[in-house]
């Protein structure tokens, strides 16, 4: 391995610049070798075999897992590599549910793209032999195992970045699948709906659950007033779906597009983001004063909230009771704005435009309702919104910018930066500094909490007290931070948690490619927009201040707690029937039949079956725990049966009834 | 507790005296094969008989401290001659009784033990002359073998560390610890030319050198006992028959590379091996042969036993490491190689059981002794598990470079039922097949590789003329597609599709394009797979295609199976000249495909016939024939 020197790629001499593997150098040299399983942010997996190259020293190697070597001669395009790549694609296509025209991933599917690029014109093998059921149970994510190519990207993303491991491989050989623990439905496991697995899935195996039709139905229903809110991170990413660069500000076009589709009012989530900062900061200040429930954790990120409910029930009192901006918006619209329109809550349809997949889950939480109807009726991701524009044949790039409607259409720069990791914390700092420092406090750019780094720490002085702040993104990093706090290695007063890398700009509902480069660009534009924004601090937002006075008679009071706050309860990680460890009446009788080769050949399976039938017939099946076991080492005397640690040998299918009567059912009666 | 080399030698002498003081020693094979055939009952009967004869001053206590004891009965590890089991060996003459049934025990006891007369009806009979052969060493099955790894198997009590010590056990470790530096041990192994016996044949010394040079405080030695090839049981026999030798081999490796901890990864499906290894680790610990400051030297070593979870792929070293770490057993890309970054990121040596079992003899006798055995590039011996249609199934150890002919015909006794030799599948699903033309090929790493096969772990399935090679390839491909870990595309998807093509060909619906596609795919799977399993998985297909192409062509062109195995390609016919019209076939046919009048030749309707073969098995006149 060498971190500098030169090597040769397809006849050209190229510098090694500290890359970890050949693939990065080859791509820098202008050869975009394809991969399914390589992601610079994840561990090297080496399974798709598309990046195989021929070398003079090592033969045929996977470029992704081979460290650079000084002087090595690499050829990327040879008869062998080309044939191999085509065959890999052909093999994958053979086992792939090829309903491409109706697949939601069509046009963005890497498999489809590579088949086309490599000129794979026919599939000479048979089709998939079995159609597996599609999992539609999650409010956020749809899993179609028939389209999975087993690249393992979702597995590693969930395990390495989110520290959860919801997905993993099960079974072997051609029966291998990616699935959840115990093959449970996605809604029944600890999935926090962040959608990062969807972001890395190259095919239509993992997709976002679409709510587009629900929104169209509302738009086309004359009795409904459709109200939209747009989250900050959407406006710097949606343009990518129409060929604009990552990070281009398309706020005005989104507003215009939504109006064109028939949305009645287009508002800004920034309005309630400012409310969130004000409520949360006041909550923080009260806790500081009482010196209780510290550190305070932010609660804007629904994935983090679910994670905390599942894995850290002990921290729930520390999580801010503030609803997220999306839910504050829904609540405010259904409880107050609807009245203004003389509408019942059910006649106002709130649709959120979000970079996030977990917001779909959050909107469906039972506590977020008004008069029995959900505060937020539908959540569209950035990608879904672009899809909606496409369905309406809107020429997005040609749209003329439009402004948000009022009164919920104004937000400060402090709300805008909610879209990037560190933004909520910076916003709180701006508010608290303004509150304590008064009018003299000018613009505050709190740089230490900005950037893509996983864990960021900073401190700030308020009224002579130095507050220690932490900002974390990615749940694996969050877990790391929590264990640091628990071990006493670190202590903080306030912690911002965002589940997605880089914060909401890197959300699971953002366009492809959703990598670090794209995230940096999007966040960069958000801070640029904040720089030119006149309203800097939440308290600069006149409309928000007015709303607090008009609707709640102030901030952080009983009224705001009813409409803008919530409560949390610990949540099970795995749903479904509990495992019965033992019968409450008595310990079950343990009967295990040896299934080693010798006993198997002498009819062990028939013995098990016989025992099972007898137990059922005598109505004592519940009191007997019947199992097969590995070899009991009485091979010359099989079939062997272990009854409560006593081994009975010489059992045959013929005498099984007798043995059951004499040695098993008697014991059950005694119990 | 042995605290020095001198104490080890004292114990050795004591154990040896005890063994030689015993006039007769009855060793009942307790290998898995013999146990399944009832050897434990035989052992119990011997024990009972010994107990009934106190007038012979024979104690039924089986432990050796009672040196006044004249006759003792022991269980032993596998002798390798499994087909003839249960085997009973009586020392000191080495008389070997075969297929001993419980009812034979009293006769052996009366005649041999008491009266000193050999029971010739229970002796092995020569294949050709049918005259009885008394001692094990004279039997052709053993005579042509040279046992290094299996030296003690069947000769010592595997549960008795003193029996091992009496047979030079732990002497090589003592030599290494007190006469050699770690570098000298590595050099000795390098010079011996020992290559990995698990399949790849990578030079063991080179592997050790990498690990010795790798930086790291903590290093591990792993013994790969995850033997999984269908029909292979070499490693099992060593672990069951001579567990201390494996441990000693690991300690030599540990001393050489600077590791103080080892894992034995053994299949859970080998419960006897697991038990014997556990006993061995425990007694070695009690004797101070494992633990801190062994024999008073500065070297410490600890051995853990990890039972495998039942996946074939866990025999692949990186998958094995993942499995020990508690992860799903899936191979990881190399580099980094385990010798640099293995178990929990530490430099790790993984050696196969048989490789480790060779080491004590190499260190004790020197590399020069070892290089005199075998060929120039493949030194030493290799164990093979003979299976299939061979007369003597069992385990053999022969010098590298012995010809296939010698193994199959001289040692193995040729084919069963006078069948004609067609091919052997060597090396399990990763190996390839060898044919008549290879009978005089010396069996070593390089010559096997040249003909597209490999030594592999040493499984050797012998096939007669009535074997269909398409069916053979299909069998192994079925195995691979189930046992592939499912990680990389060529292996997972490729094996599935190769099986699909082979099934199509065997069923008669294959085309010549299918044959070409099969070959193309096989080469790509070989080229592109991530680990050794996938890279070698197409070998059975490629070698059968290479040596038996005409058989494949008969399947696709003429829709015929020359060996008469592939059911879909058989036509069932009644030979009218032989049929007596008894009507039995008509009665048993489940498809109502047979018609005819009593006492007149019957007929099979090929449209209705499902080729189940029931009629053939029922016909008393041999009148139903297939093409």
Per-residue model confidence as pLDDT tens digits over B379-390: 999 999 998 999
Q: Do B528 and A87 touch (CB under 8 A)?
A: yes
**Of B44, B100, B333, which to mutate for an interface test with A (greatest number of A Cβ within 10 Å)?**
B333
Per-residue pLDDT of B244-278, as tens digits, reads 999 999 999 999 999 999 999 999 889 889 999 99
Nearest to B486 among A87, A94, A176 (CB): A176
Q: Do domains B161-371 and B570-626 have the same CATH topology?
A: no
- Active-site residue (options: A159, A359, A537, A634): A359
- What pLDDT, on a 0 to 100 scale, did the predictor assign at position A3? 64
- Burial of B370-399, coded b for 16+ CB within 10 Å and e otherwise, reads bbebbbeebbbbbbbbbbbbbbbbbbbbbb
- What pLDDT, on a 0 to 100 scale, did the predictor assign at position A228? 98
Q: Which residues of A touch B530 (CB under 8 A)?
A: 46-47, 49, 62
Domain covering B21-138, topology: Glutaredoxin (3.40.30)
- What pLDDT, on a 0 to 100 scale, did the predictor assign at position B61? 31
Strand order through the sheet with A646-648: A624-629, A589-594, A641-643, A646-648
- Percentage of residues in chain B having pLDDT higher than 90: 61
Q: What's the rounded mean pLDDT across residues A83-91?
A: 97
Confidence bin at B70 (pLDDT 50/70/90) = low
Tokens standing for B400? 């590298």
Assigned CATH class of B469-558:
mainly alpha
- What pLDDT, on a 0 to 100 scale, did the predictor assign at position A585? 52
Contact of B478 with chain A, judged by CB distance below 8 Å, is answered with: no
Residue B362: count of CB within 10 angstroms of its CB: 27
What is the architecture, at CATH level 2, of domain B381-464?
Roll (3.10)
Query: How much of chain B is helix, strand and coil, in % rounded to 5?
Result: 45, 15, 40
Contact of A433 with chain B, judged by CB distance below 8 Å, is answered with: no
A194 in active site:
no
User: Alpha-carbon distance B598 to B576, whole Å?
Assistant: 13
Q: Which of residues 268-327 of B touch A (CB under 8 A)?
A: 268-269, 271-272, 275, 311, 313
- Is the pLDDT at A272 greater than 90? The verdict is yes
- Is the pLDDT at A2 greater than 80? The verdict is no
- Please tell me the distance in Å from A177's CA to the nearest CA on chain B: 8
User: Alpha-carbon distance B406 to A453, whole Å?
Assistant: 68
- Please tell me the distance in Å from A651's CA to the nearest CA on chain B: 16
- Please tell me the distance in Å from B23's CA to the nearest CA on chain A: 30
Helix (H, G, I), strand (E, B) or coil at A159: helix
Contact of B528 with chain A, judged by CB distance below 8 Å, is answered with: yes
Per-residue pLDDT of A37-61, as tens digits, reads 999 889 999 999 999 999 999 999 9
Q: What's the rounded mean pLDDT across residues A154-178?
A: 95
Bridge-based pairing state of the strands A6-9 and A73-75: parallel
**Smallest Cα–Cα separation from A294: which of A491, A427, A428, A560?**
A491
Confidence bin at A637 (pLDDT 50/70/90) = confident
- What pLDDT, on a 0 to 100 scale, did the predictor assign at position B35? 82
Any idea which of B45-59, B459-473, B595-609 has the lowest mean pLDDT? B45-59
Any idea which of A71-85, A198-212, B458-472 has the lowest mean pLDDT? B458-472
- What pLDDT, on a 0 to 100 scale, did the predictor assign at position B66? 36
User: Alpha-carbon distance B368 to A18, whole Å?
Assistant: 46
Residue A616: count of CB within 10 angstroms of its CB: 11
- Is the pLDDT at A246 greater than 90? The verdict is no
Question: How far is CA B406 from its chain centroid?
Answer: 18
Confidence bin at B47 (pLDDT 50/70/90) = confident
More confident residue, B557 or A581: B557
ipTM passes above 0.90:
no
Mean pLDDT of chain A: 92
**Of B309, B486, B521, B529, which to mutate for an interface test with A (greatest number of A Cβ within 10 Å)?**
B486
Write down the domain spans for chain B.
Answer: 21-138, 161-371, 381-464, 469-558, 570-626
- What pLDDT, on a 0 to 100 scale, did the predictor assign at position B55? 58
- What pLDDT, on a 0 to 100 scale, did the predictor assign at position A577? 54
Domain over B161-371 is classified CATH 3.20.20.80: no
Per-residue pLDDT of A291-347, as tens digits, reads 999 999 999 999 999 999 999 999 999 999 999 999 999 999 999 999 999 999 999
Contact B264, B246 (CB under 8 A): yes
Bridge-based pairing state of the strands A465-473 and A373-374: unpaired
Q: Which of residues 262-291 of A touch B (CB under 8 A)?
A: none
Q: Which residues of A touch B483 (CB under 8 A)?
A: 172-173
- What pLDDT, on a 0 to 100 scale, did the predictor assign at position B57? 41
A300 in active site:
yes
- What pLDDT, on a 0 to 100 scale, did the predictor assign at position B232? 84
Contact B570, B564 (CB under 8 A): yes
Assigned CATH class of B570-626:
alpha beta
Per-residue pLDDT of B542-576, as tens digits, reads 999 999 999 999 999 999 999 888 888 888 889 99
What is the helix (H) or strand (E) element at residue A592, kind and residue range?
A: strand A589-594
- Is the pLDDT at B64 greater than 60? The verdict is no
- Is the pLDDT at A550 greater than 80? The verdict is yes
- What pLDDT, on a 0 to 100 scale, did the predictor assign at position B93? 78
DSSP state letters, A320-387: --BPPHHHHHHHHIIIIIHHHTT--GGGEEEEEEES-SHHHHHHT-TTSEETTEESS-EEEEHHHHHH
- Is the pLDDT at A580 greater than 60? The verdict is no
Q: Do B41 and A46 touch (CB under 8 A)?
A: no
Taken in order of first residue, the domains within chain A and their CATH numbers are 6-77 (3.10.20.740), 88-208 (3.30.70.20), 212-240+251-564 (3.40.50.1780), 589-670 (3.40.30.10)
pTM given for the model: 0.85
User: Alpha-carbon distance B416 to B438, whole Å?
Assistant: 20
User: Alpha-carbon distance B487 to B481, whole Å?
Assistant: 12
Most confident of A579-583, B224-228, B490-494: B490-494
B106 phi and psi angles, rounded to 5 deg: -65, -35
- Burial of B143-161, coded b for 16+ CB within 10 Å and e otherwise, reads ebbbbbbbbbbbbbbbbbb
Q: DSSP E strands: which ranges in B179-288?
A: 220-225, 261-266
């Amino acid at each position: 391995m060498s971190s500098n020197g030169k090597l040769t790629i397809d006849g050209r001499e190229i510098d090694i610049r500290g890359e970890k593997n050949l693939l990065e150098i080859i791509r820098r040299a202008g050869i975009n070798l394809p991969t399914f399983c390589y992601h610079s942010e994840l561990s090297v997996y080496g399974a798709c075999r598309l990046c195989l190259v021929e070398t003079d020293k090592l033969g045929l190697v996977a470029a992704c897992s081979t460290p650079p070597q000084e002087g090595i001669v690499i050829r990327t395009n040879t008869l062998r590599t080309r044939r191999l790549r085509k065959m890999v694609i052909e093999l994958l296509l053979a086992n792939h549910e090829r309903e491409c025209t109706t697949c939601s991933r069509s046009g963005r599917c890497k498999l489809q793209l590579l088949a086309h690029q490599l000129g794979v014109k026919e599939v000479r093998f048979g089709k998939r032999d079995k159609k597996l059921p599609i999992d539609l149970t999650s409010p956020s994510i749809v899993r179609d195992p028939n389209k999975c190519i087993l690249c393992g990207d979702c597995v590693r993303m969930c395990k390495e970045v989110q520290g959860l491991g919801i997905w993993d491989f099960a079974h072997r050989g051609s029966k291998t699948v990616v699935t959840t623990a115990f093959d449970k439905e996605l809604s029944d496991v600890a999935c926090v709906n962040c959608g990062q697995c969807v972001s890395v899935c190259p095919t239509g195996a993992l997709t976002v659950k679409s709510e587009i039709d629900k929104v169209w139905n509302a738009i086309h229903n004359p009795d409904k007033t459709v109200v939209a809110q747009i989250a900050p991170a959407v406006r710097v990413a949606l343009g990518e779906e129409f060929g604009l660069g990552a990070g281009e500000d398309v706020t005005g076009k989104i507003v215009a597009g939504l109006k064109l589709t028939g949305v009645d009012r287009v508002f800004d989530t920034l309005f309630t983001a400012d409310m969130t900062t004000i409520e949360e900061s006041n909550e923080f200040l009260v806790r500081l004063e009482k010196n209780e429930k510290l550190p305070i954790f932010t609660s804007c990120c629904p994935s983090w909230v679910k994670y905390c409910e599942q894995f850290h029930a002990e921290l729930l009192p520390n999580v801010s009771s503030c609803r997220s901006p999306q839910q504050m918006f829904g609540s405010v619209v259904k409880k107050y704005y609807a009245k203004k329109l003389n509408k019942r809550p059910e006649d106002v349809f709130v649709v959120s435009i979000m970079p996030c997949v977990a917001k779909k889950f959050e909107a469906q939480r039972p506590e977020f309702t008004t008069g029995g109807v959900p505060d937020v009726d539908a959540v569209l991701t950035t990608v879904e919104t672009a899809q909606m524009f496409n369905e309406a044949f809107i020429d997005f790039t040609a749209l003329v910018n439009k402004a948000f409607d009022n009164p919920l259409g104004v937000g400060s720069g402090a709300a805008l930066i909610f879209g990037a990791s560190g933004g909520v914390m910076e916003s709180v700092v701006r508010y608290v500094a303004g509150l304590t420092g008064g009018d003299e406090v000018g613009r505050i750019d709190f740089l230490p909490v900005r950037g893509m780094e996983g864990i960021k720490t900073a401190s700030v002085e308020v009224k002579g007290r130095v507050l220690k702040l932490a900002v974390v993104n990615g749940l694996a990093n969050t877990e790391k931070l929590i264990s640091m706090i628990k071990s006493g290695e670190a202590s903080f007063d306030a912690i911002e948690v965002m589940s997605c890398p880089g914060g909401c700009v890197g959300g699971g509902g953002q366009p492809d490619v959703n990598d670090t480069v794209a995230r940096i660009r999007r966040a960069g534009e958000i801070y640029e927009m904040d720089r030119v924004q006149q309203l800097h601090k939440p308290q600069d937002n006149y409309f928000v201040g007015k709303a607090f006075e008009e609707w709640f008679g102030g901030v952080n009071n009983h009224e705001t707690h009813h409409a803008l706050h919530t409560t949390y309860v610990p949540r099970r990680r795995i749903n479904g029937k509990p495992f019965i460890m033992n019968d409450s009446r008595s310990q079950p009788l343990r009967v295990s039949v040896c299934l080693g080769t010798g006993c198997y050949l002498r009819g062990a399976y028939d013995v098990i079956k016989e025992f099972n039938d007898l137990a059922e017939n005598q109505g004592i099946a519940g009191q007997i725990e019947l199992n097969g076991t590995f070899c009991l080492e009485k091979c010359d005397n099989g079939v062997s049966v272990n009854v409560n640690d006593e081994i009975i040998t010489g059992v045959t299918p013929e005498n099984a009834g007798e043995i059951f009567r004499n040695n098993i059912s008697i014991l059950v009666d005694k119990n | 507790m042995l605290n020095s080399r001198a104490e080890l030698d004292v114990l050795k002498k004591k154990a040896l005296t005890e063994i030689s003081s015993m006039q007769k020693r009855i060793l009942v094979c307790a290998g898995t094969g013999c146990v399944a055939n009832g050897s434990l009952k035989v052992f119990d009967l011997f024990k009972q008989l010994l107990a009934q004869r106190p007038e012979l001053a024979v104690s039924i206590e089986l432990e050796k401290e009672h040196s006044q004891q004249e006759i003792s009965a022991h269980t032993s590890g596998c002798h390798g001659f499994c087909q003839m089991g249960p085997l009973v060996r009586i020392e000191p003459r080495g008389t070997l009784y075969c297929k001993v049934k419980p009812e034979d025990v009293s006769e052996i006891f009366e005649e041999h033990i008491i009266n000193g007369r050999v029971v010739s009806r229970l002796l092995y009979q020569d294949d050709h002359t049918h005259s009885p052969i008394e001692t094990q060493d004279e039997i052709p099955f053993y005579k042509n073998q040279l046992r290094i790894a299996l030296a003690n198997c069947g000769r010592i009590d595997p549960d008795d560390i003193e029996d091992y010590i009496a047979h030079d056990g732990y002497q090589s470790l003592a030599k290494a610890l007190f006469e050699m530096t770690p570098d000298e041990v590595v050099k000795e192994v390098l010079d011996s030319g020992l290559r990995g016996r698990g399949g790849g044949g990578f030079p063991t010394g080179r592997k050790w050198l990498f690990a010795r040079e790798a930086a790291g405080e903590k290093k591990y030695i792993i013994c790969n006992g995850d033997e999984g090839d269908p029909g292979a049981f070499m490693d099992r026999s060593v672990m069951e028959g001579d567990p201390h030798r494996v441990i000693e081999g690991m300690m030599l490796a540990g001393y050489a590379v600077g590791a103080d901890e080892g894992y034995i990864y053994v299949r859970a499906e080998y419960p006897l091996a697991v038990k014997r290894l556990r006993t061995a680790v425990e007694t070695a610990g009690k004797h101070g042969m494992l633990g801190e400051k062994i024999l008073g030297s500065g070297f410490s070593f600890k051995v853990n036993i990890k039972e495998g979870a039942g996946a074939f792929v866990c025999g692949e070293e990186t998958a094995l490491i993942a499995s020990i770490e508690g992860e799903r057993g899936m191979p990881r890309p190399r580099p980094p190689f385990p010798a640099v970054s293995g178990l929990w990121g530490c430099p790790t040596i993984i050696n196969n059981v048989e490789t480790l079992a060779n080491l004590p003899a190499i260190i004790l006798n020197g590399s020069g002794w070892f290089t005199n055995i075998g060929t120039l590039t493949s030194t030493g011996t290799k164990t093979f598990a003979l299976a299939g249609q061979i007369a003597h199934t069992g385990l053999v150890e022969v010098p590298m470079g012995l010809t296939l002919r010698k193994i199959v015909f001289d040692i193995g006794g040729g084919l069963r039922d006078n069948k004609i030799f067609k091919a052997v599948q060597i090396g399990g699903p990763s190996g390839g097949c060898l044919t008549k033309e290879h009978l005089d090929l010396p069996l070593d790493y390089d010559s096997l590789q040249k003909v597209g096969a490999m030594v592999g772990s040493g499984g050797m399935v012998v096939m007669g003329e009535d074997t269909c090679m398409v069916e053979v390839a299909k069998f192994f491909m079925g195995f691979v597609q189930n046992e592939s870990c499912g990680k990389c595309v060529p292996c997972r998807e490729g094996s599935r599709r190769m099986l699909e093509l082979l099934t199509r060909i065997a069923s008669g619906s294959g085309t010549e394009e299918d044959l070409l596609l099969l070959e193309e795919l096989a080469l790509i799977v070989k080229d592109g797979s991530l680990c050794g399993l996938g890279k070698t998985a197409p070998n059975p297909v490629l070698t059968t295609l290479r040596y038996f192409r005409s058989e494949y062509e008969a399947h696709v062109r003429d829709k015929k199976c020359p060996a008469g195995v592939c059911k879909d390609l058989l036509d069932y016919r009644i030979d009218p000249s032989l049929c007596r019209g008894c009507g039995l076939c008509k009665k048993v046919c489940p498809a109502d495909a047979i018609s005819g009048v009593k006492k007149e030749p019957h007929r099979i309707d090929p449209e209705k016939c499902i080729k189940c073969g029931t009629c053939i098995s029922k016909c008393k006149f041999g009148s139903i024939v297939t093409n």
